[in-house]
Structure 1
Amino acid sequence: MPLPEYLITIDYVSEGEVANLIRGFIEIQGKKVRFSGVAYGRFGGQNFSPQFTPSAKKSLSALSGDFEKLEEDIQMRLVRGEFDAKPGKDEKHHHHHLGEEQEHK
């Protein structure tokens, strides 16, 4: 069974040396479900480990029909940069694909 359409939005990214803490949400079937996670990948390739609360997992299971499949798809989309980046009200917009070099000022 295919996954329903969904969008990923990142609304917070920390500026870590090796890893970045990330927060955002999934929009699926008219609902927003929050997640957090760690993005890393300067050595040996990119990776992202999304974390969902037990209630978020339950919601996503009900909305998608297969939480494990959805979680894997979310992880792959995040690694490929398939998400929207929206800064918080006091942050500047910055969108950085994992594994890309950043210009340090």
Structure 2
Amino acid sequence: MARRKISRRPARQTKVVAWSPAIEGLFRMAAVGWTPPATVRVSQGGASMTWSADFSDEKGQPFTLKVRLRRAKDGWKLAEETLQTRLIYRAGASA
């Protein structure tokens, strides 16, 4: 009788967590006055973890902030912060 094949779990696990005051210190964008998101995406691999959240400023412009953490001997260390925004061109705007 043949053994049943066990499918391998993906190398990177992604989940969505609710926004909390504990997460606010990781992103540091609420201090600027941006509106925090309701949820945050957490993607964890073997040696790194990425936290991604969509903020919006007072004009409603969306920003995506990604924080990458690397595993260290004494815990997690900040490896990279990335801020992304979408450029919007409006017709009829003069420079």
TM-score bracket, normalised by the shorter chain, equals 0.3 to 0.5
Larger radius of gyration: 2
Could you say which structure has the higher helix fraction? 1
Using the size of structure 2 for normalisation, the TM-score is 0.37
Could you say which structure has the higher strand fraction? 2
Using the size of structure 1 for normalisation, the TM-score is 0.35
